[in-house]
Amino acid sequence: MKINNLKCISIIIAALLLSSFAFAQKSKTAYKVRAKGVTLVVTYQGKAHTLNTAEQIDAAKVTDTEILFANRKADFTYLVIAVGGQSKAKQDDRQCGAGEEDNLLWIKLDSKWKIADIKSIRYESCWSPTTSEDGYKIKGNTLTIQISDFHRDVDALVSYNANEPEKGFIIKETAIEKQ
């Protein structure tokens, strides 16, 4: 009898976890993003919303955008978007002519799709000596990335928990030890 109850509880827990994962995936795919210059256009339920993100994007020409997380909590929508592109508007054979700039954006939107708060994390850059070892990693509802900023001589561990989107990026910095 105990074994049957444990099996039932295990099946219920597995079903809840799967439905939770499916909801998170469905809500993320309900949003689409594209670049318009260095601003972003996010489409949700067929309606396009232009977000002024020019100051938070380091690329001169955005070539890649991806919504990593999309959550609604209280009266706000929270988005985490990966944005990447060319260091220069026109590529050439000079400094950073073929370089790339990559940012992670955390955006808090009010009910009218106005930006209430926005944070940007630069994780790859030709212009500023910033790099991540392997880019960002997503496991379940958590994003992590290890970044080395050689201009400021700091390593940063950045994390984001989609279950608590209002907290935004959590950053833990340590000084890079000089050899």
Mean pLDDT of the region 54-72: 93
> What number of other Cβ atoms are within 10 A of residue 56's Cβ?
22
Please tell me the total count of domains within the chain.
1
Tokens 């074994």: give the residue.
3
**Measured distance CA(106)–CA(76) in Å, rounded:** 13
pLDDT in tens, 2-21: 555 556 555 555 544 444 44
pLDDT digits (tens, 9 = 90+) for 123-165: 998 888 888 988 999 999 999 999 998 888 899 999 999 999 9
- This model's pTM is above 0.85: no
- The one-letter code for the residue type at 91 is Q
70 close to 50: Cβ distance less than 8 angstroms: no
- Domain carrying residue 131: 2-175
- DSSP states of 133-145 as a string? SS--EEETTEEEE
Given this model, what pLDDT does residue 171 score?
Answer: 95
Q: Which candidate, 31, 30, 51, places its Cα nearest to that of 39?
A: 51
